[in-house]
Amino acid sequence: MKTQSLPETGFVRLPAVLSVIPVSKSTWWNGIKEGRYPKPTKKFGPRIAAWDVKDIRALLEKEAG
């Protein structure tokens, strides 16, 4: 599994997410709108999207399971 490229804890930006979930940027953002993918946090600023690593790992486990 590609989760070795993710940190154990913390937050990751979109390039790191797309390195473990092979979809395009537009597919990822559409998936967020449709509820398939987790929403990003905006706690780092209004123009900075980041995802909690535990949410990405949960998504990967759900897709693998």
Cα–Cα separations (whole angstroms), residue 23 to 18, 33, 43: 6, 15, 25
Q: Which of 25, 4, 16, 27 is nearest to 52 (CA)?
A: 16
| pTM of model > 0.75 | yes
What's the angle, vertex CA 29, arms to CA 8 and CA 38, rounded to 5? 40
Tens of pLDDT along 14-65? 999 999 999 999 999 999 999 999 999 999 999 999 999 999 999 999 988 7
